[in-house]
Structure 1
Amino acid sequence: MTVNVFDSKEVQDLLRAAANLGSQDGNARIRQITHRLLSDLFKAIDDLDMTPDEIWAGVHYFNKLGRDGEAALLAAGLGLEKYLDIRMDAADREADIHGGTPRTIEGPLYVAGAPVRDGVSKIDVDPDDNAGPLVIRGTVKGSDGQPVADAVVECWHANSKGFYSHFDPTGAQSDFNLRGAVRTGADGKYEFRTLMPVGYGCPPQGATQQLLDALARHGNRPAHVHFFVTSENSRKLTTQINIEGDPLIWDDFAYATREELVPRVVRKHGGTALGLKADAYQEIEFDIVLTPLVQGKDNQIVNRLRLAAAA
């Protein structure tokens, strides 16, 4: 028998007490959010007739999620991070902001502190027999089409096993392997000399994959490269590109693919002169367009916990 008690005075009083709505102390915004989220949960329990067993299974799942350190990974896998991008896209349209390189999700694997080079950075610190050389280059421009000097382009991606340095469970990678940053000159150009990445999958025994299995979903991402791009007079850009031809480009468990962010991969020669591991290499040209500050402020900076290390 379905029981509906959400609208009762007893439950509504409980919700107000749990969020401490009548208090003048503490944080009013946190009280507001707590009350709304707790109300939505209680209402869902009524509407879906959730059992105590189901509720406690959820509580124990969140314990596992915390132990595994996968909350940010799950946020990407359930579309929460994509949803935030959808909201920011809508806010830009409402503010009549157009023409910049599309944003997409940051993901959980950024590490602050990568060394900043002028113009060009070779970021493959460790050898990788299974990955061929790759050059990613382009020009950072403003919305007026002019090059942006002194922009900082940060780049990070996985190795041929799908692992990121600082998060590699094998411990095989050096600090800041396949991570770097470039400061543009007057011509706005940047270049990363690196190795071709592959996609990765969620840890098979982790909490994220556990839930995805229950949903009959895979937990895999196509090969991709992340970017942060910052400039004094522009809004911060968080984006990533997918590697052309990857079969999972349109089946990314994190919903990060955007049509404008799948640049061509071109085969070239002359890599030896560039200090690459082989003369034949692949190149991606990815020009970046930044958008101006809003009333002198950068409304694209997202404050979240991120790992940092010293180079």
Structure 2
Amino acid sequence: MTVRISHTPKVQELFREAAGLNNQQGSARLKQLILRMITDAARIIEDMDVSEDEFWLAVEHLNRVGKHAEFGLLLPGLSLEHFIDLLQDAKDQQVGLTGGTPRTIEGPLYVANAPMSDGYTRMDDGSEDDVAIPLFIEGRVLDTHGQPLPGAIVDLWHANTQGTYSYFDPSQTPFNLRRRIVTDASGYYRARSIIPSGYGLDPDGPAQQCLSAIGRHGQRPAHIHAFISAAGHRHLTSQINLAGDQYLWDDFAYATREGLVGEATVIGDAAASRAHGLDGRRFAQLKFDFVLQPAVTAEAEQRSQRPRVGA
């Protein structure tokens, strides 16, 4: 028999006291959030008849997630980061903000202050020239009327052929595969990089252990992250997900969306290779345009205040 006491006045007063609502100090907003979390957690314990052993095993697992700094991986894996995007989409639709390139999750691996270039940049440091396929990325930043946005900033970052990111992988040089490009007068950005690899969660880490316990994998398809910004336009957080990857529509973090799939076309023509400054080896081309909505407020031009690494 399920026993419920969370609704009783005595327990409700306990929760209000625990959330700080019986004092005048601290943040009123935080107090309301804490009260809701306590109340909802208590109801889950009651409704699911959570045992004391289950409760403390969950606490121990969350401690391990925090110790390994994997909340930024586990929460996308449990769909919550994607849910925030879906919720914002619904809010936008409600007020008539439609069109443009779809948003998708940022993930936890951005590093601020990457080198900035005008029009064109090389993103990789050449350390994987013997194993990587060179990738030439090209596209435009446009408004919702199809007009180019010169001076927009295209901030790109992605993994190497081993599925790891510079800064978080100390074997890579600083800002390897991380660059910002200012679009030219026609709204174009161009970059030389390498085809990134998809990757998975640490198989021995607590995030993967949680997903394994519910029968799920922790794999991501090959992708390129992007922040796109331009004066007078809404900041866009998005990704280019590479077509053909086996996990393209089976991403554990739910980041692939219609409109965010790009085709990296591999070219084996030696003459074309040399024309791109290569030695005749095969390379790939990827074309992808970004379309920005107009900004309703100045705040909309800025990315979120989520804590990030600043190298």
Q: TM-score range by the shorter chain?
A: over 0.9
Q: Once the two structures are superposed, what CA deviation does each residue of 1:2-29 show, in whole Å capped at 9, x if it has no partner?
A: 3221122221111111012133321000
Is residue 193–residue 276 contact of structure 1 (8 Å, CA) maintained in 2? no
Is residue 100–residue 291 contact of structure 2 (8 Å, CA) maintained in 1? yes
Unpaired runs of 5+ residues, structure 1, are none
Aligned-partner residue type, residue 116 of structure 2: V
Q: Which runs of 4+ in 1 moved over 3 A?
A: 271-279
1:157-176 → structure 2 map (5 Å cutoff): 157-168=158-169, 171-176=170-175
1:75-224 → structure 2 map (5 Å cutoff): 75-128=75-128, 129-168=130-169, 171-224=170-223
Q: Once the two structures are superposed, what CA deviation does each residue of 1:23-49 show, in whole Å capped at 9, x if it has no partner?
A: 332100000100011100001101111
Give secondary structure in 1 for the equivalent of 2:262.
coil
Is residue 92–residue 98 contact of structure 1 (8 Å, CA) maintained in 2? yes
Matches of 1:44 and 1:32, distance apart in 2: 18
Once the 2 structures are TM-superposed, how far is the Cα of residue 297 of structure 1 from its aligned partner? Answer: 3.6
1:154-303 → structure 2 map (5 Å cutoff): 154-168=155-169, 171-268=170-267, 269=269, 270-276=272-278, 278-298=280-300, 301-303=303-305
Residue 25 of structure 2 is aligned to residue 25 of structure 1: yes
Give secondary structure in 2 for the equivalent of 1:139.
strand
Q: Once the two structures are superposed, what CA deviation does each residue of 1:66-105 show, in whole Å capped at 9, x if it has no partner?
A: 1101111111111110000001111111121122101100
271-280 vs 153-162, greater mean Cα deviation: 271-280
Give secondary structure in 1 for the equivalent of 2:305.
coil
Q: Which residue of 2 aligns with 1:14?
A: 14
Aligned-partner residue type, residue 8 of structure 1: T
Matches of 1:204 and 1:88, distance apart in 2: 32
Question: What is the number of equivalent residue pairs in this alignment?
Answer: 307
Aligned-partner residue type, residue 149 of structure 2: V
Q: Once the two structures are superposed, what CA deviation does each residue of 1:135-154 show, in whole Å capped at 9, x if it has no partner?
A: 11100011221110111101
Q: Once the two structures are superposed, what CA deviation does each residue of 1:133-180 show, in whole Å capped at 9, x if it has no partner?
A: 111110001122111011110111111111111112xx3211111111
287-296 vs 84-93, greater mean Cα deviation: 287-296
Is residue 232–residue 301 contact of structure 2 (8 Å, CA) maintained in 1? no
- What is the TM-score with the length of structure 2 in the denominator? 0.95
Aligned-partner residue type, residue 294 of structure 2: P
Is residue 223–residue 246 contact of structure 1 (8 Å, CA) maintained in 2? yes
Superposed CA RMSD in Å reads 1.5
Q: Which residue of 1 aligns with 2:49?
A: 49
30-39 vs 127-136, greater mean Cα deviation: 127-136
Aligned-partner residue type, residue 265 of structure 2: V
Is residue 126–residue 174 contact of structure 1 (8 Å, CA) maintained in 2? no
Is residue 222–residue 242 contact of structure 1 (8 Å, CA) maintained in 2? yes
Aligned-partner residue type, residue 306 of structure 1: R
Matches of 2:276 and 2:173, distance apart in 1: 22
Is residue 161–residue 196 contact of structure 2 (8 Å, CA) maintained in 1? yes
| Paired-residue identity, % | 45
